[in-house]
Structure 1
Amino acid sequence: MHDLLSHTLVMIGGYFAIMNPFANTAIFTAVTAGMDDRSVKKTAFSAVVTALGIVLSFILLGRIIFDFFGITLPALRVAGGIMVFFIGFDMMHGRTSAAHAPASDNSPAEQGQNIGISPLGIPILAGPGTIAVSMSYSATGNVQEIAINALVFSIMCMVTYVFFLLGEKVEQKLGQEGLKVITQLMGLILSVIGIQIGLEGIFGAISLFEQHHAS
């Protein structure tokens, strides 16, 4: 029970850090500036539903994806750990990681796109780092852990939705400096989580190597 609780708390911390509702709320208010309340709510809902659908797919199908591509758990954890570390490293230095940023500076609305789906849903909320973390948490194939993983991410999407709707109030309360400090703190947490995931992958790879040579 204690191990399960610890694992759940790690999931919560990991998702909160990589989705960073505070910083993403600033992005949301910027790209929805000038919209009426109904459009803002619709965009926020579209963003979190897009992220939820994408990440839940990887959470639930992670084991199938592993088997299909012949990916081992240690390989995923090493690669995911490196990716998550560098995303956190960028956040610590006040930069937006390219993995969780729009591919172009052009306004999505001007291109006729639904900005709730892109860039808000993907890659800002459901970027490669989020997907790597979600798959790492479900990689063991334990049904209980997969269920908790899906639940935690669903709750985080709900929290993000509330932050989006309260965007202007959140920005006013925290200010630019407050958002910067929180983002840097989330970056530090994320970097540590990335290193932890990577170390688990390295130890797992060593164990697989030893088992291979012993057989």
Structure 2
Amino acid sequence: MNVTLMVEVFVTLFVIMDPVGTVPIFLSLTSGRSAATARRAAWQAVLVAFFVIVVFAVFGQGILDYLSISLAALQCAGGLLLLLVALELLTGNDEEPTATTGTNVALVPLGTPLLAGPGAIVATMVFTRRVHDVGDLAAVALGIIGVHIVLWAAMRFSLPILRLIRESGVMLVTRIAGLLLSAIAVQMVADAVRAFIES
């Protein structure tokens, strides 16, 4: 097995998917819900992200080519969707429309585009092109699985943090998460615009 490739895949996806940075966003999106619901959201989000990453690793380039979609367009769309979520966190919408409308936050925005976003998708597609034998395939697969295990652990053990900081702390974390998420979204859109210009 190509250990160097496995480490490269793990480190790259770890930086892009950012398990540590996901914790405050996870806490803010699951605040006010039961511990069981939050735990279920943690593993559901990881499964959704893993499924999206695997699908794009295998069929990604073919899907984009068939739909005539560029990677920059995919990145811009993900950034705009994240910006909407960030604005909701910043404005302090206490009605939590995602909960009242029955939308599962583990699917959107946690699973995608926050975890399995354009950056992670593009990086996975690039690594897939470097697979030439079974050892390379095992290295890429183990790197992807390892990152998702870390993501699940980060969200799963964020629940004790929630009990520690209580509601006032969640409010502060929500505002900070909204600010950080909006910056990430704007950067994604800016990178997409730059790619459009360069192409």
Q: TM-score, normalised by structure 2?
A: 0.65
2:44 is matched with which residue?
50
Question: Bigger shift: 53-62 or 192-201?
Answer: 192-201
2:147 is matched with which residue?
152
Q: CA deviation at 1:19?
A: 7.1
**2:162 & 2:174 partners in 1: Cα distance?**
12
CA-to-partner distance for each residue in 1:55-90, whole Å, 9 max, x for gaps? 212222314323553538x94521232123224444
Q: CA deviation at 1:180?
A: 0.7
Q: What is the correspondence of 1:98-177 to structure 2 with a 5 Å cutoff?
A: 102=98, 105-106=100-101, 108=102, 119-133=104-118, 134-140=120-126, 141=128, 142=130, 143=137, 144=139, 147-171=142-166, 174-177=169-172
Of residues 73, 76, 83, the one that matches 1:82 is: 76
What's the secondary structure of 2:65's corresponding residue? coil
Question: Bigger shift: 23-32 or 193-202?
Answer: 193-202
The number of aligned residues is: 180
**2:72 & 2:60 partners in 1: Cα distance?**
14
CA-to-partner distance for each residue in 1:117-147, whole Å, 9 max, x for gaps? x513212421345433332221121445564
**2:21 & 2:174 partners in 1: Cα distance?**
14
Structure 2 unaligned spans of 5+: 131-136
CA contact (8 A) 1:87 1:187 kept: no
Which one has more relative contact order, counting CA pairs under 8 Å at least 6 apart?
2
What's the secondary structure of 2:32's corresponding residue? helix
What's the secondary structure of 2:18's corresponding residue? helix
Q: CA deviation at 1:167?
A: 1.9
Determine which structure has more spread, i.e. the larger CA radius of gyration. 1
Letter in 2 for 1:11: L
Letter in 2 for 1:181: I
Return closer, same or farther for 1:5/1:188 CA change in 2, 3 Å cut-off.
farther
CA contact (8 A) 2:17 2:115 kept: yes
Q: CA deviation at 1:201?
A: 7.1
User: Aligned-residue CA RMSD in angstroms?
Assistant: 4.0
CA contact (8 A) 1:77 1:198 kept: no
CA contact (8 A) 1:76 1:201 kept: no
1:64 is matched with which residue?
58
After TM superposition, where is structure 1 displaced by more than 6 Å over at least 4 residues in a row? 1-7
Q: CA deviation at 1:173?
A: 7.3
**2:152 & 2:196 partners in 1: Cα distance?**
27
**1:62 & 1:157 partners in 2: Cα distance?**
20
Structure 1 unaligned spans of 5+: 33-39, 109-117, 207-215
